Structure 1
Amino acid sequence: MARSRTEAPPPRRRYAKRLLPADRREQLLDTALKIVATAGFTEVTIAAVAEHGGVTRPVVYDSFGNRDELLAALIERETSRMRAAVGRALLAEPESGTETREVLLAALTRFLCDVRTMPDTWRLVYFPIDGVPPLLRDHIRKARNEFRLPLRNLLGDWLAECPAAEQVDLDVFVEIVQGCLQTLARRVLDDPEHFAPRRIIAAIELLLGDSP
């Protein structure tokens, strides 16, 4: 049946914008991360990533052979981002003459700012997410172990400058600080306006008191 002259033509099918393979891969991983953050790992499927990413399933399969490969790539990317963030916080070279107290505060500020700018990434660590794969737990455990030593060194330097801290067990102190960091990160993710990094740092400065 012929279409009348006044009848509107059918809408054209929308096609995904052409991207370089590496860019398309990153876009699909971003889409998968959003699904994880809102619905959990169990909801990440090739079909769901295609739908939410505005592409067809063959486009997703061009980048990832299957769901397991996609999730493995996502976990690898996000744990690499976490390592980079912790590295920026703990391994940055301080300026000559900077007091250890100021180095600690600067490290904490960098860490909390990274948490705030990458909330979906850090939710993988600090909040229970449905269907967390064992691979993610393994990556997170390894990342924590990698950066326990620089954190221990930094805290050890600070304790060495505090005459009143002679009886403090460094390993116990590291455990306490790590627990505090996890709590603060959760607060930043839960209520980023009320628990803005600058407000947290102002409170911690008061707790630390004056430099020894």
Structure 2
Amino acid sequence: MPNASSRAAKPRRRYAKRLTPADRREQLLDAALNLVVENGFAAVSIAAVAERSGVTRPVVYDLFGSRDEVLTELIERESARMQAAVARSMAAAQAEATVPEAVSASLRQFLEEVRAMPATWRLVYFPIDGVPPVLRERVEKTRDELRDPYRSLLGDWLADRPDDDGQVDLDVLVRVVQGLIQTASRLVLDDPEHYDPDRILAMFAMLFFAES
């Protein structure tokens, strides 16, 4: 019969922390997102999500019927997060009096959103293996939602420039600005301490809004 010391030495079984179904669902989706960012969509399985979350597979199956269901809900959640971030960025622009201030405010808000949700935005700005077609479509939609308001803002800016006689191609300008935003977002994701929003906004203002 085991003595008291041997019983005391036996490691206790670890149990998953009790969470509400909603909180557990978020935890499992967070685990799936991290797996995708680290190793691509192929890395996501019920077993991998369970292991990353510190729970058993039945816990995952209680909330998700299959791997596909995990990925579908993950894409839905991250798409909604991106769309909300774009909306907040555009709302920041509306509070400003001039076009340069509006562009600066919206870009600052957007870069802060990127900093706050790095895993989400890596789905957009970095290549990830095995991206489902539905996510590609959502990413394109998110980019369009950011492009259209900037087209309006930059169009107003060009209209207010006394030296502009229609030589600037607005379509090209919008695409260039979108490319700069994507580059800035990658810098923020790769090295947020080195490439902070103030540094990026200073460069942006010099390129577009500096007095000649």
Query: TM-score band (shorter)?
Result: over 0.9
Q: 1:110 — aligned with what?
A: 109
Q: 1:54 — aligned with what?
A: 54
CA distance in structure 1 between the partners assigned to 2:95 and 2:86 by the alignment: 19
Q: Give the paired residue count.
A: 210
Give the drift of 1:203.
Answer: 2.0
Matched, 1:178 2:140: no
Residues 89 and 110 in structure 2, CA contact (< 8 A), matched pair in contact too: yes
CA distance in structure 2 between the partners assigned to 1:79 and 1:208 by the alignment: 30
Q: Deviations over 1:4-58 (max 9, x none)?
A: 2332432221111111111111111111111111111111100000011011111
Return closer, same or farther for 1:114/1:44 CA change in 2, 3 Å cut-off. same
CA distance in structure 2 between the partners assigned to 1:210 and 1:147 by the alignment: 23
Matched, 1:142 2:147: no
Matched, 1:3 2:2: yes
Q: CA RMSD in A?
A: 1.7
Give the drift of 1:86.
Answer: 1.2
Residues 101 and 211 in structure 1, CA contact (< 8 A), matched pair in contact too: no
How does 1:80-95 map onto structure 2 within 5 Å?
A: 80-92=80-92, 94-95=94-95
Unaligned runs of 5+ in 2: none
Give the drift of 1:93.
Answer: 5.7
After superposing on structure 2, the runs of 4+ consecutive aligned residues of structure 1 that deviate more than 6 Å are: none
TM-score (norm. length: structure 1): 0.92
CA distance in structure 1 between the partners assigned to 2:135 and 2:6 by the alignment: 54
Q: 1:100 — aligned with what?
A: 99
Q: 1:27 — aligned with what?
A: 27
Q: 2:195 — aligned with what?
A: 195
Residues 125 and 140 in structure 1, CA contact (< 8 A), matched pair in contact too: yes
Q: 2:157 — aligned with what?
A: 158
Q: Deviations over 1:73-103 (max 9, x none)?
A: 001111111111111112446336x111101
Residues 91 and 150 in structure 1, CA contact (< 8 A), matched pair in contact too: no
Residues 28 and 49 in structure 1, CA contact (< 8 A), matched pair in contact too: yes
Return closer, same or farther for 1:205/1:144 CA change in 2, 3 Å cut-off. closer
Q: 1:120 — aligned with what?
A: 119
TM-score (norm. length: structure 2): 0.92
SS in 1 for 2:6: coil
Give the drift of 1:211.
Answer: 6.2
User: Which residue identity does 1:168 align to in structure 2?
Assistant: V
Return closer, same or farther for 1:118/1:206 CA change in 2, 3 Å cut-off. same
Q: 2:13 — aligned with what?
A: 13
CA distance in structure 2 between the partners assigned to 1:204 and 1:25 by the alignment: 40
Return closer, same or farther for 1:30/1:168 CA change in 2, 3 Å cut-off. same
| Sequence identity (%) | 58
